[in-house]
Amino acid sequence: MGAPYRRKYHHTKSKGQETSVRCEFCGKIVPKWKTFTSYKSFGINDPVLRKQIDPRFVSSFTRKTYACPSCARHRHIIKPGRSRKSRTSNLSRSR
Ligand SMILES: [Zn+2]
């Protein structure tokens, strides 16, 4: 008799080729579902300047970038949640 319940990975290759994107920061090819999307703007922070430029033009300055999980953490794209708190406490305990 085998195990009554076998854990299945829902994410399989059955759908064909995965969409993979290049990480903006380290250049690693990461599956898209793993990446974190961030919008990089080309620094028009000046409100006066922003008023002068056509808003449609301003939006073109925003670029969609992908970051792999590790880069997303390092670049503060994702905010550390509860999971990090438990992880750090585990680390300090092991040390
Ligand atoms: Zn990366």
pLDDT recorded at residue 65: 87
pLDDT recorded at residue 52: 79
In a domain, 10, yes or no: no
CA of 54 to the centre of ligand 1 (A): 33
Contact 16, 59 (CB under 8 A): no
CA of 50 to the centre of ligand 1 (A): 31
In a domain, 11, yes or no: no
CA of 84 to the centre of ligand 1 (A): 19
Q: Please tell me the distance from the alpha carbon of residue 3 to that of residue 8, in angstroms, as a whole number.
A: 13
In a domain, 89, yes or no: yes
Structure tokens at 37: 């999307």
In a domain, 8, yes or no: no
Q: State which residues of the chain have pLDDT below 70.
A: 1-17, 41-45, 55, 57-61, 80-95
pLDDT recorded at residue 28: 94
In terms of C-beta density within 10 A (0-12 exposed, 13-18 middle, 19 or more buried), how is residue 35 classed?
buried
Q: Please tell me the distance from the alpha carbon of residue 68 to that of residue 64, in angstroms, as a whole number.
A: 14
Counting the structural domains of the chain, the total is: 1
pLDDT recorded at residue 90: 55
pLDDT in tens, 7-21: 665 655 555 667 899
Q: Where are the alpha helices (DSSP H) in 6-81?
A: 47-52, 55-59, 69-74
pLDDT recorded at residue 70: 92
Range of the domain at 30: 20-94
Instruction: Find, among 18, 32, 16, the residue nearest to 66 by Cα.
Output: 32
In a domain, 43, yes or no: yes
pLDDT recorded at residue 43: 61
pTM of the model: 0.49
